Amino acid sequence: MKQALEASQTTARPLLEIDGVSKSFPGVRALDAVTFDVRGGEIHALLGQNGAGKSTLMHILAGVLRPDAGRVMIDGQAVEIRNPADGQRRGIAIVHQELSLFPSRSVAENIFVGRLPRTAGGFVDDARLIDDARALLRALDIPVDPSAKVRALDFSLRQLVEIAKALSFGGKILILDEPTSALTEIETANLLTQLRRLKNNGIAIIYVSHRLREVFELCDRISVLRDGRRLGTYDTAKVTPDEIIAMMASRTIASGAARRTAPREEVRLSVRGLSVKPSVRSVDFDLRAGEIVGLAGLAGAGQTDIGRAIGGLAAFRAAELRYDGRPIRSRTPTEALRDGIVYLPADRRAEGLFLRLDVRQNIVASTLRELSLGPWMRDASAAETASQFVRSLRIRTPSLRQQVGNLSGGNQQKVVLARGLTVNSGLVIADDPTRGIDVGTKAEIYDLLRGLADAGKTVLLISSEVPELLAVCDRILVIRAGRVAAELDRAAASEERIMSLASGDFARAS
């Protein structure tokens, strides 16, 4: 990377400065003398593969972790952030990937949770609560009714409520961790518009994302981390996505390697009349052995419910399912596993992992019966099985005994995949397997899915990212309003056509 790329066009004094910050954990140097700054009225992207040090740096700024060396400066003054409350008092607001809102409560109650205004008699002052929330939302130019229930809002508006909640403490530095990972294209566009308004109001925004298209559309500057070190800070207009990818991954990531083996003719899974309340209505399709089939659609169209129903996690009705020609009716994940179907959930932390257990225990969790002798686990066999997958999937962990909750997001996702692969299944349902992980790990997961299909397994890939489906799948089923709107083979599919079909714009899709 040429030195000329690294630049700083803005001359305003930095609002936040990270100066030589280092942090180590047993066996891992997470940050190594990282230095960069963020200015008021700037959106600054922080990019890097999972495990590059982004989360550690964010935790230091939030007051969750203390640095081993270096300093943090706000408005030119060195500060010591002792805990999250201290970070809030100093104007640092963080919105994490998993939102922390109460759906049954109002927007105003969520913004001021734990700080609700009270009357002289000790009761909640509802009028003042609404007025305070309305004033804050107006100041931030956020178009949300403070009296609305959060469950009635779409995800982009919920994200804005989370931002308002974070900034309600007087924040002037906003850190966003994968803010669009669960949003549709339209919701994403709405959120990006709102972030530009916050920028224009002088808020300094650190934007952590793996979606480079958004980064180049939204951000003023980009800082790249790799292996705990800052490789550089670049004006967005003077660098290309390919250059950023090469820096993050230390190699060029191909978006779609050619499949080595053509799908077979025999039908692995036949689905007829599948209905799942309230989203899916009488869906029919077939999956062949050795192919990767994608489910595309707008959020809420029903593609996730289809996968969960086949995987035994959602009740369905009026359906005939045949696996290798024999009828099946998997009502639980255990029954689905016995039928040869494994489901890998999108929410790895809530549904895919035992966060307090170690890597070994998580990987072998689905095969405990085979690895046990009576009530006791055969530790040597479990360790050997786990070690094989750690090596083959390149899971970055100090040891098999590392608590899985301490791994980076991409490595957690690999542990979920490893556990699914320990089961002798013919059909793998992968629901958003690359959500919130870096481009390098994405490429590894794509290769893994292709390898499964080349070995004769069937892969049903549910993804919110259309380019991902185009890169990996042999066929794509577009789901709209709970039905199959179209079936496209790889040659006939394009991002514009899929999005048009998903939104019902059939004139553009034809």
DSSP state of 263: P
Which range of 62-66, 145-149, 478-482 scores highest in mean pLDDT? It is 145-149
Task: Report the C-alpha gap between 140 and 155 in whole angstroms.
Answer: 18
pLDDT of residue 273: 94
| Under 8 Å between Cβ of 295 and 307 | yes
Tokens 């369905």 sit on residue:
316
Region 420-433: what's the mean pLDDT? 87
Query: How many CA atoms lie less than 13 Å away from 215 in the CB half-sphere?
Result: 28
Region 86-90: what's the mean pLDDT? 89
pLDDT of residue 483: 92
pLDDT of residue 322: 94
pLDDT of residue 275: 93
Helix axes 126-139, 155-167, angle to 10 degrees: 100
Nearest to 55 by CA among 85, 25, 26, 15: 25
Query: Secondary structure of 185-226 in the HEC alphabet?
Result: HHHHHHHHHHHHHHHHCCCEEEEECCCHHHHHHHCCEEEEEE
pLDDT of residue 6: 43
pLDDT of residue 392: 82
pLDDT of residue 9: 43
pLDDT of residue 2: 40
Region 117-146: what's the mean pLDDT? 90
pLDDT of residue 508: 47
Strands 458-462 and 292-296: parallel
pLDDT of residue 4: 35
Rg (C-alpha) for the chain, rounded Å, is: 24
- Give me the percent of the chain exceeding a pLDDT of 70: 91
Region 172-188: what's the mean pLDDT? 82
Per-residue pLDDT band at 510 (split at 50, 70, 90)? low
Tell how far CA 249 is from the center of its chain.
18
4-18, 396-410, 421-435: least confidently modelled range? 4-18
b/e burial code for range 193-213 (CB count within 10 A of at least 16 → b): ebbeebbeeebbbbbbbbbbe
11-15, 330-334, 491-495: least confidently modelled range? 11-15
DSSP 484-510: EEEEEEGGG--HHHHHHHHHT-HHHH-
Task: Report the C-alpha gap between 396 and 408 in whole angstroms.
Answer: 9
Retrieve residue 379's tokens. 């530790």
pLDDT of residue 27: 66
pLDDT of residue 3: 38
Region 225-253: what's the mean pLDDT? 82
Task: Report the C-alpha gap between 84 and 114 in whole angstroms.
Answer: 15
Q: Give the three-state DSSP class for 229.
A: strand
Region 448-473: what's the mean pLDDT? 90
End-to-end Cα distance, the chain: 43
Region 33-41: what's the mean pLDDT? 95
Confidence check: pLDDT of 506 > 70: no
Domains 1-91+171-252 and 269-509 alike in fold: yes
Confidence check: pLDDT of 29 > 80: yes
Over residues 244-271, the pLDDT tens digits come to 877 876 544 444 455 556 677 889 999 9
Given phi > 0 = left and psi -120 to 50 = alpha, else beta, which region is 170?
left
Strands 341-344 and 292-296: unpaired
For residue 311, the tally of other CB atoms under 10 A from its CB is 23
Confidence check: pLDDT of 201 > 70: yes
CATH 3.40.50.720, applies to 1-91+171-252:
no
For 33, list phi and psi in degrees, rounded to 5.
55, 50
- How high is the mean pLDDT of the chain? 85
Class of domain 269-509: alpha beta
Alpha-carbon torsion, ordered 60, 62, 64, 66, to 10 deg: 30
Retrieve residue 442's tokens. 């994405």
Per-domain boundaries in the chain: 1-91+171-252, 101-170, 269-509
Confidence check: pLDDT of 236 > 70: yes
pLDDT of residue 253: 42
Nearest to 292 by CA among 447, 184, 494, 486: 447
Per-residue pLDDT band at 509 (split at 50, 70, 90)? low
Per-residue pLDDT band at 48 (split at 50, 70, 90)? confident
Tell how far CA 329 is from the center of its chain.
31
Confidence check: pLDDT of 171 > 90: no
Q: Which residue has the higher pLDDT, 143 or 79?
A: 79
Task: Report the C-alpha gap between 54 and 228 in whole angstroms.
Answer: 8
104-118, 152-166, 363-377, 401-415: least confidently modelled range? 363-377
Taking the model in full, what pTM does it have?
Answer: 0.59
| Under 8 Å between Cβ of 437 and 210 | yes
pLDDT of residue 92: 92
Q: Which residue has the higher pLDDT, 97 or 177?
A: 177
| Under 8 Å between Cβ of 351 and 345 | yes
pLDDT of residue 505: 54
Q: Which residue has the higher pLDDT, 263 or 489?
A: 489
Tell how far CA 45 is from the center of its chain.
16
For residue 82, the tally of other CB atoms under 10 A from its CB is 10
Q: Which residue has the higher pLDDT, 159 or 236?
A: 236
| Under 8 Å between Cβ of 358 and 401 | yes
Region 343-372: what's the mean pLDDT? 82
Region 226-231: what's the mean pLDDT? 91
Over residues 291-320, the pLDDT tens digits come to 999 999 877 788 989 999 999 988 888 779
Q: Which residues contact 498 (CB under 8 A, 6 or more apart)?
A: 296, 466, 469, 470, 476, 478, 488
pLDDT of residue 375: 65
Per-residue pLDDT band at 1 (split at 50, 70, 90)? very low
Region 278-291: what's the mean pLDDT? 92
